Amino acid sequence: MDILALNCGSSSVKYQLYNWAKKKIIAKGMVERVTIGDSYIIHEVPGRETYREEYECPDHKVAIHLIIKTLVDEKYGVVKEITQIAAVGHRVVHGGEKFNCSVMINDKVLDAIKEVQHLAPLHNPPNISGIEAAQAVLPDVPHIGIFDTAFHQTLPEHAYMYAVPFDWYEKHGVRRYGFHGTSHLYVSKRAAVLLDKEPKDCNIITMHIGNGVSHCAIKGGVSIDTSMGLTPLEGAIMGTRCGDIDPALPMFMQQQENLSAKEIDSILNKKSGILGITGQFTDRRDVIEGAEDGDERCKLALEMEGYRLKKYIGSYFAALGRLDAVVFTAGVGEMAWMIREKALDGLENLGIKLDKEKNKNTMTRKRETEITTADSPIKVFVIPTDEELVFTEDVVAILNKSYTDHMNFTYSFSGKDFSLG
């Protein structure tokens, strides 16, 4: 049984084809520049050279046609017949309060996703376009929605509400939702295995640090707080997003620079964060190199990011009351030892004793590593995330009617005998 995972952005479609019987990825790739011209596909198959084809994709339906065409291609494909694809899993960024777990997509579910698209106007519309396009191209297979926000639907009211007029919540759904849910789910369950405990017995802080960054306080296996809010703009410093700022700042700059609300929104989402501080970089490798070469703004960016990460660890420790482990994941979290060191420096009194040599030598996305000393009361792990595996297991379990929700379902990666591959 082959499962196709799709992640549709406004101008791209990422895909992965997973063979469930063999428990391995058989192909993955991306269609870039969808709807904007000069589009192309990058197709990767283990053991083969990467294939690229220029192919005009004016909409998501054509892009998904291109993906299917490539998967069944005699020379570059990996399946003989499209009927080998048993189901399609769709990443949906925002499910609002309507979805607390993955679900089979039908007309009612699709309508519900459309009803909350105002909460994620940059993300949900392309997600919806991708679902409708895939349903048109693959009408005879089940389509399942996997929601970024579902994992955080366990947040208590006092954690997800904002101190703004209450009718904003009642009328418009204004509250904290959180994102990167599948990543926080995966690494927290892997951390429980490394701790030799059940997830229900673990208190963990997960730090997903890539271009987008979010943190999660997980108590007894469920999310009780998270850094991203109504939108992915709130929280940590990110590649191009500002994260937490004075709420009056956007209005102040609108007046000072005579900017529109749309322009301010674009600046805070696309021209701020690490890019805003350094003036030129979003990739932390470039920032670290610049800092080592003496660039003062790169040095400042690293100090600011490390300081903000440290504050989140401290605040979530307070919220949890007891802490078993901190987990770093995603591209920066898994590879940038310097940023991890800055985030953990000085936390010995909290019970976190960093092994600096282990930390420096941990720059891989292929293994799970403990980077604290043997006598550290609180462990720190670097765990490669695998959101696509969560997608795939949810899809298969829904097809098999064995899925309940992420709190009660037993994932393969929750077992001690699970192999990263």
Asked if residue 53 lies in contact with residue 70, where contact means CB atoms within 8 angstroms, the answer is yes
Q: Do 2-147 and 197-382 fold alike per CATH?
A: yes
Q: Which helix (H) or strand (E) holds 328?
A: strand 325-329
Can you read off the two tokens belonging to residue 208? Answer: 């997903």
DSSP state of 12: E
2-8 and 85-92 as β-strands: parallel, antiparallel, unpaired? Answer: parallel
- Helix, strand, or coil (residue 15): strand
Radius of gyration of the chain (CA): 21
The amino acid present at 167, given as its one-letter code, is D
| CA distance linking residue 407 with residue 364, whole number of Å | 29
24-32 and 203-209 as β-strands: parallel, antiparallel, unpaired? Answer: unpaired
| CA distance linking residue 361 with residue 383, whole number of Å | 14
Residue 302 CB coordination number (10 Å)? 22
| CA distance linking residue 308 with residue 303, whole number of Å | 9
Q: Domain boundaries in the chain?
A: 2-147, 197-382
Q: How far is CA 71 from the centre of its chain?
A: 25
Can you read off the two tokens belonging to residue 180? Answer: 């990167």
Can you read off the two tokens belonging to residue 257? Answer: 């620079």
Strands, sheet with 325-329, edge to edge from the N-terminal-most edge strand: 222-226, 213-219, 203-209, 325-329, 379-382, 369-370
pLDDT at 324: 98
- Which residues are known catalytic residues? 148
| CA distance linking residue 6 with residue 129, whole number of Å | 12
| CA distance linking residue 29 with residue 134, whole number of Å | 16
* Non-local CB neighbours of 381 within 8 Å, separated by 6+ positions: 190, 191, 194, 325, 326, 327, 328, 368, 369, 370, 371
DSSP H helical segments within 232-295, as ranges? 249-257, 261-270, 273-278, 284-292
Tell me the CATH architecture of domain 197-382. Answer: 2-Layer Sandwich (3.30)
* Non-local CB neighbours of 38 within 8 Å, separated by 6+ positions: 54, 56
- Whole-model pTM? 0.92
213-219 and 203-209 as β-strands: parallel, antiparallel, unpaired? Answer: antiparallel
Q: Looking at the domain 2-147, which fold is it?
A: Nucleotidyltransferase; domain 5 (3.30.420)
- Output the tens digit of pLDDT for each of the chain's 421 residues: 899 999 887 788 889 999 998 888 999 999 998 888 899 999 999 999 999 999 999 988 899 999 999 999 989 999 988 889 999 999 998 898 989 899 999 999 999 999 888 887 777 888 888 899 889 888 999 999 999 999 999 999 999 999 999 999 999 999 999 999 999 999 999 999 999 999 999 999 999 999 889 999 999 999 999 999 999 899 999 999 999 999 999 999 999 999 999 999 999 999 999 999 999 998 999 999 999 999 999 999 999 999 999 999 999 999 999 999 999 999 999 999 999 999 999 999 999 999 999 999 998 778 999 999 999 999 999 999 988 889 889 999 999 898 888 888 889 899 888 877 6
Strands, sheet with 51-54, edge to edge from the N-terminal-most edge strand: 51-54, 40-44, 24-32, 12-19, 2-8, 85-92, 143-147, 103-104
* Non-local CB neighbours of 400 within 8 Å, separated by 6+ positions: none
Length of the chain: 421
